[in-house]
Amino acid sequence: MQIQTIELLSGSPGTQQSLQVLRFGTPGARPKVYIQSALHADEVPAILVAHHLAQLLEQAQADGTVCGEVVLVPFANPIGLGQHLFGQHQGRFDLRDGGNFNRGYPELAAKVVDSVRPLLTQDVDSNTRCIRAAMLQAVESQTSANPTQDLKKQLLKLAVDADVVLDLHCDTDAVMHLYALTPQSATAEQLGAALGARAVLLATESGDSPFDEACTRPWFDLQKLLPEFPIALACFGATVELRGETDTNHALAEQDAQGVCAFLAQQGVISGVPDSLRIAQCVPTPLSGSEPITAPHAGVVVFHRNPGERVVGGDVIADVVDALTGNVTQLRCKSDGLLYARCGSRWAVPGKRLAKIAGTSLARTGKLLSP
Ligand SMILES: [Zn+2]
Helix/strand/coil (H, E, C) string of the chain?
CEEEEEECCCCCCCCCCEEEEEEEECCCCCCEEEEEECCCCCCCHHHHHHHHHHHHHHHHHHHCCECCEEEEECCCCHHHHCCEECCEECCCECCCCCCECCCCCCCHHHHHHHHHHHHCCCCHHHHHHHHHHHHHHHHHCCCCCCHHHHHHHHHHHHHCCCCEEEEEEEECEECCEEEEEHHHHHHHHHHHHHHCCCEEEEECCCCCCCHHHHHHHHHHHHHHHCCCCCCCCCCEEEEEEEEECCCCCHHHHHHHHHHHHHHHHHCCCECCCCCCCCCCCCCCEEHHHEEEEECCCCEEEEECCCCCCEECCCCEEEEEECCCCCCEEEEECCCCEEEEEECCCCEECCCCEEEEEEECCCCCCCCCCCC
Q: How far is the CA of 171 from the centre of ligand 1 (A)?
A: 6
Q: How far is the CA of 229 from the centre of ligand 1 (A)?
A: 35
Q: How far is the CA of 319 from the centre of ligand 1 (A)?
A: 26
Residue range 290-322, pLDDT digits in tens: 999 999 999 999 999 999 999 999 999 999 999
Residues of the chain whose pLDDT is less than 70? 275-277
CATH topology of domain 286-359: OB fold (Dihydrolipoamide Acetyltransferase, E2P) (2.40.50)
Q: How far is the CA of 106 from the centre of ligand 1 (A)?
A: 18
Q: How far is the CA of 262 from the centre of ligand 1 (A)?
A: 23
What is the model's pLDDT at position 118?
Answer: 98
307 cis-preceded (ω within 30 degrees of 0):
no
What is the model's pLDDT at position 124?
Answer: 98
Taking the domains of the chain in order of start, what are their residue ranges?
2-283, 286-359
Q: How far is the CA of 169 from the centre of ligand 1 (A)?
A: 5
What is the model's pLDDT at position 277?
Answer: 67
What is the model's pLDDT at position 275?
Answer: 66
What is the model's pLDDT at position 276?
Answer: 64
Q: How far is the CA of 102 from the centre of ligand 1 (A)?
A: 7
Q: How far is the CA of 243 from the centre of ligand 1 (A)?
A: 11
What are the backbone angles phi and psi of residue 118, rounded to the nearest 5°?
-70, -10
Alpha-carbon gap, residue 176 to 154, rounded angstroms:
28
Q: Is the CATH code 3.40.50.20 the one for domain 2-283?
A: no
Q: How far is the CA of 103 from the centre of ligand 1 (A)?
A: 10
Q: How far is the CA of 37 from the centre of ligand 1 (A)?
A: 9
Closest by Cα among 176, 191, 212, 189 to 45 = 176
Q: How far is the CA of 339 from the centre of ligand 1 (A)?
A: 18
What is the model's pLDDT at position 364?
Answer: 87
Q: How far is the CA of 39 from the centre of ligand 1 (A)?
A: 7
Q: How far is the CA of 92 from the centre of ligand 1 (A)?
A: 7
CA 227, distance to chain mean position in Å, is 28
Q: How far is the CA of 187 from the centre of ligand 1 (A)?
A: 21
Q: How far is the CA of 121 from the centre of ligand 1 (A)?
A: 39
Q: How far is the CA of 282 from the centre of ligand 1 (A)?
A: 21
| Alpha-carbon separation of residue 160 from 76, 106, 129, 179 (angstroms) | 15, 11, 12, 18
**Contacts for 80 with CB less than 8 Å, ≥ 6 apart:** 38, 39, 40, 41, 42, 90, 91, 92, 94, 101
Q: How far is the CA of 38 from the centre of ligand 1 (A)?
A: 7
